[in-house]
Amino acid sequence: MILLNDFFSITRQSSSDGNMEAVLEINKGHRIFEGHFPNQPVVPGVCMMQMIKELLEQELKKETKLLSAAEMKFLAVIDPTRNNVIHASIKYSAESDQLKVTASLFKSELMHFKFKGVFVFP
């Protein structure tokens, strides 16, 4: 895990039958924001994707590798000084040696990130 418990933490989590919901708190004082961007912090898109990957690995207790991304949409910036608590929703299903995943990061009605893709177990 690269970002979990440093860049973000899980404050609440529930899961059942291939569905996971979590409330996440972003560390608004994290050093990433010194460069992205000074005095106007924004969660980098690559961090949003990494958060989904790490949440999935936490849930499955297995390492994963992104195989393909059919959809990766960054819809609204996350400014951690204004909004450092967001929600994550992940749906996944195993098909042979692949894991099909649909995920999103959001706050109320505001969608920040949407993802559809396939992970594998290395």
Per the structure, the complete domain to which residue 44 belongs is given by 8-120
Q: What is the pLDDT of residue 79?
A: 96
Q: What is the pLDDT of residue 118?
A: 98
Q: What is the pLDDT of residue 96?
A: 86
**Quick check: 49 pLDDT over 80?**
yes
Q: Which of 115, 117, 15, 4 minimizes the C-alpha distance to 55? A: 4
Per-residue pLDDT, averaged over 35-58, amounts to: 96
Cα 115 from Cα 103, distance rounded (Å): 5
Q: What is the pLDDT of residue 99?
A: 97
Please give the angle made by the CA atoms of 38, 41 and 44, to the nearest 5 degrees. 110
Assign 38 a pLDDT band (cuts: 50, 70, 90): confident
Number of domains in the chain: 1
Q: What is the pLDDT of residue 95?
A: 87
Q: Which of 65, 113, 109, 122 minimizes the C-alpha distance to 90? A: 113
Integer angstrom CA distances of residue 10 from 2, 13, 31, 72, 92: 14, 7, 19, 22, 19
Tens-digit pLDDT profile for residues 81-122: 999 999 999 999 998 889 999 999 999 999 999 999 999 999
**Quick check: 40 pLDDT over 80?**
yes
Q: Is residue 1 part of a domain?
A: no
Residues 6+ apart with CB under 8 A from 46: none
Q: Is residue 52 part of a domain?
A: yes
- CATH code of the domain in which 44 resides: 3.10.129.10
